Amino acid sequence: MLLKVGELAKRCGLTVRTLHHYDRIGLLTPSARADNGYRLYGRSDIARLHQILALQRFGLSLAEIGACFAQPGTSLTTILTQQIAMLDQQITQASRLRAQLAGLQGSLLDGVEPELADWLTTLELMTMYDNYFSQDELARLPMLGNGEAAEAQWRALVGQVRGLMESGVAPEHEAPRQLAVQWMSMLVRDTGGDPRLVAKLNLMHEQEPALQTRIGISTALRDYVLRAFSESKMLIYEKYLSAEEARFMRAHYVQTALDWPPLLAEVRDAIDADVAPASPQGIALGRRWLALFQRYAGDSPATQLKFRTAMEQEPELLAGTWADDRMFAFIRQAMAAMMQQQS
């Protein structure tokens, strides 16, 4: 019962080349050779080949199959769980991509077929997002999924704000202020209240000029909104401050606005990772928080107290800020630990 290579190949539905390959890499060496050099496969070789094919069908690479034979310590359950896990990952990944493509296809079916070139620029944006956000974060960015409704809302808002800015209306006026508050509220909503997402959005917006032109939000426009939004907050704080304190705040508040989201993001990460507020890492965050706060509140504890009072009295101050009670609690504890340490 010795088979030549071609016979074995036919019987197993393989090519001769494949068997040559297995021979070369030492996975299946025929147990005999004829005098003329022909490979002769015996019964045990055939059995081994079947086993190889079985493991291959499981998705193992030839190298892994070789390892299985080399050390018989490997248990089948290990192999199975491993391969199943791999398949699961593969399946979820493919399904996610499929869902994305199907969504895209759905949005294509309604309207006119656009030019490929137009779509490519849209896709350009998609990869940009991919670049800054993990798959997980993308799924949590409601902005993208909401599609139509949210997008129209944003387009309208951006248009209004740009109208005001281009007409020369100062951002401190009431109309820009109201739009800015709406802007931030929508942003909070569309980031699911997660400061990490908004920090990354800001980063992306800053680093991708192409994005700015595409969605129509230049850095100038963003600064305009930022100033208007800051003004809306400062108008409230002012009621609690002396003229001198208000002057200081007005000189520095706007510049700190963009620094908050990254810090909030880090605090949120720390909370999610169960970092203790009193730990060195927690205290470092508290220190940075305090520094940022002092940049517009100043060094005087009395003034700082006024800000805190304002914040407690006026819940409106928290609107559009991505800060919540959990984060405040964390920072309070971190600062307490900080004081303790210093004294």
The option from a second copy, DNA, none interacting with 37 (CB < 5 to 8 A, set by class) reads DNA
Piece of 75-83, 140-148, 178-186, 278-286 that binds a second copy (CB under 8 A): 75-83
Question: Per rule CB under 8 A, is residue 102 in the interface with a second copy?
Answer: yes
Question: Per rule CB under 8 A, is residue 54 in the interface with a second copy?
Answer: yes
CA dihedral 189, 197, 200, 149 (to 10 degrees): -40
Question: Per rule CB under 7 A, is residue 39 in the interface with DNA?
Answer: yes
**Which single residue is written with the structure tokens 């705040």?**
249
Is residue 46 within 8 A of residue 54, CB to CB? The reply is no
Residue 58, token pair as written in the block:
């499981």
The option from a second copy, DNA, none interacting with 36 (CB < 5 to 8 A, set by class) reads DNA
Q: How far apart are CA 219 and CA 209, in angstroms?
A: 9
**How many residues are recorded in the chain?**
343
Residue 289, token pair as written in the block:
């928080």
Question: Per rule CB under 8 A, is residue 25 in the interface with a second copy?
Answer: no
Beta carbons within 8 Å of 323's beta carbon, 6+ residues apart: 195, 260, 264
Cβ distance to DNA smaller for residue 63 or 220: 63
Burial (Cβ within 10 Å: 0-12, 13-18, ≥19) of residue 218: middle
The 124-143 contact track toward a second copy, x by CB under 8 A, reads xxxxx-xx------------
SS3 250: helix
Is residue 241 within 8 A of residue 303, CB to CB? The reply is yes
Question: Per rule CB under 7 A, is residue 63 in the interface with DNA?
Answer: yes
Tell which one of 40, 46, 158, 221 touches a second copy (CB under 8 A).
46
The option from DNA, a second copy, none interacting with 38 (CB < 5 to 8 A, set by class) reads DNA
**Which single residue is written with the structure tokens 């015996």?**
42
Cβ distance to a second copy smaller for residue 93 or 341: 93
Residue numbers of the site for a second copy (CB under 8 A)? 1, 11-13, 43, 46-47, 50-51, 53-55, 57-59, 68, 72, 74-77, 80-81, 83-84, 87-88, 90-91, 94-95, 97-98, 101-102, 104-105, 108, 113-117, 119-121, 123-128, 130-131, 207, 209-210
